[in-house]
Amino acid sequence: MHPMTRLFLGVALLVLLLAAVAFALPQHITVARSSVINAPESDVFPYVNSLRRFNQWSPWAARDPNTKYVFSGPDEGKGAHMVWRSDNPDIGSGVQEIVESQPNTLVRVRLEFGAMGKASTAFRLEPSGAGTRVVWVFDTDVGNNPLQLWMGQMFEFWIGQDYEDGLERLKKLVESAR
């Protein structure tokens, strides 16, 4: 067999194998991080229940101070809406809207990233000794396209550290305001 034919067959076999394995990968992706803040839930909640206050501790707002934001709806709680646009490809453009707000316990946010897809995020506040454990959770469904299934495996790497950085910034902000 000619070496180029072997190479072509080898590459084709590898592509088929990667595609087959992709269908065994999870379609639903969840990334979660948590931090304990030395403050009661009532002190933490206003920072996660307001998209206007989100940028005070967001790791992405700090990364690109030239990002443009447009806010609408209420200042906080369900219906609060934010559109952002950045020329920085790490920040991109998109929409956030608070879709559920349970005082001092839970905030759910709908995310849209244009062609990049949709997701949701949630902030759960739980008592932890004299403080509050904040759990920040990202959820998305990557569909059943083999390339998207493989890319879904990268979300932990792509946003995990950002969530840790954001929670650390939130912790410093809330604790310094006490």
The residue extents of the domains of the chain are 27-176
Q: DSSP secondary-structure letter at 9? A: H
Distance in angstroms (rounded) separating the CA atoms of residues 82 and 97: 6
Taking residues 130-144, report their average pLDDT. Answer: 91
Going by C-beta distance under 8 Å and a sequence separation of 6 or more, which residues neighbour residue 115? Answer: none
pLDDT category of residue 149 using cuts at 50, 70 and 90? low
CB hemisphere CA count around 130 (13 angstroms): 2
Give the integer Cα–Cα distance in Å for 23 and 146.
7
pLDDT category at 28 given cuts 50, 70, 90 is confident
Task: For 27-176, give the CATH class.
Answer: alpha beta
Which of 11-20, 110-119, 125-134 has maximum average pLDDT? 125-134
154 pLDDT band, cuts 50/70/90, is: confident
Give the mean model confidence (pLDDT) for residues 95-120.
Answer: 94
Rounded average pLDDT over 110-136: 93
Please determine, for residue 14, whether its predicted confidence score (pLDDT) is greater than 80: no
> Whose CA is closest to 98, among 106, 109, 88?
109
Q: How far apart are CA 94 and CA 111, in angstroms?
A: 7
